[in-house]
Every structure is written in structure tokens, then in C-alpha cells.
Amino acid sequence: MFSTLIILGLIPFFSGCVYVNTEMPGKVQSVTQFELKSGDYQVIQRVNASGETTLWFGMVLLGGKGYQALLEEAEAVGGDTIMDYSFDMEQTSVLLFIYSRVKWKATGMAVKLSDFLRK
């Protein structure tokens, strides 16, 4: 009888969090943080990256590079930095703290800075 009451008492705590699968947009960075003149940079092309981060038992976090992965894609096409980037995320979790996975997709513009700015 006592164990039944404990189980019934925990149901509201776990309701709605046994399994969760949501998609959400991440922060959009669409404003350049410094003043540039037209000769200071050259837009190369749009770059994309994606990845996954997994959390087990609220203690072991695996994966994840986010912005760094997008910057590596920009460098691969000759860029120095990224402008106007955005992230989208899809989260799946089981009992909130047992297992959680976030798949992310990032996009931005690869930009080559002038020699003057890189000094």
C-alpha cells in the first residue's frame, strides 16, 4: 500500500517528461558588432554545419561544437569569420535527466577580412 502511494505521488512529477521531442530556433545573430567599410571584408558564401550533443544521467555530456564547427566550415572555403549566423535545435529527452539529445543545424555567411583588419 505504501509503495503504491509513493508511485502515485511521483506521477505528477514525471507527467509530461517521460518522453519529449521538440524543435526550436536558436539565437539569430544578424547584426555585425563592429563597424566595417565595404573594402574591409568580402562575403564568400553561405556555410552550414550540424551536429549532436547527448547528455546521459545529467552527468555525462558527449559531442557538441556548435559555433566552432560553423567557423571550421567558413575557414575551409577561405573565410576568416562568420556573419549573420543562426542555429536551429531539435531536442529529444527521456525522463528529463536520464537521456537528452540535441541535434543542431547552423548556417551563416563566411567572410574574408582585409589584411588591414587581420593585423
In a domain, 43, yes or no: yes
The answer to whether position 14 is within a domain reads no
Domain-embedded: residue 67: yes
Task: Tell me, yes or no, whether 93 lies in a domain.
Answer: yes
Note the Cα 86 to chain centre separation in Å.
9
Which pTM does this prediction carry?
Answer: 0.65
Q: What is the pLDDT of residues 74-109, one digit of tens each?
A: 999 999 989 888 888 888 888 767 888 888 898 999
Q: pLDDT at position 48, please?
A: 95
Sheet strands (E) in 57-117: 60-63, 81-94, 99-113
How far is residue 33 CA from its own chain's centroid? 20
Is 117's pLDDT higher than 70? no
- The strand pairing partners of 102, in sequence order, are 53, 91
Q: Give tens-digit pLDDT for 4-39.
A: 666 556 555 555 556 566 555 566 555 556 566 667
What torsion do the CA atoms of 57, 61, 67, 68 make, to the nearest 10 degrees?
-170
How confident is the model over 50-59, as pLDDT tens digits?
988 888 887 8
Range of the domain at 60: 19-118
Number of domains comprising the chain: 1
Is 88 among the domain residues? yes
Q: What is the CATH number of the domain that holds 75?
A: 3.30.110
What pLDDT is stored for residue 5 in this prediction? 61
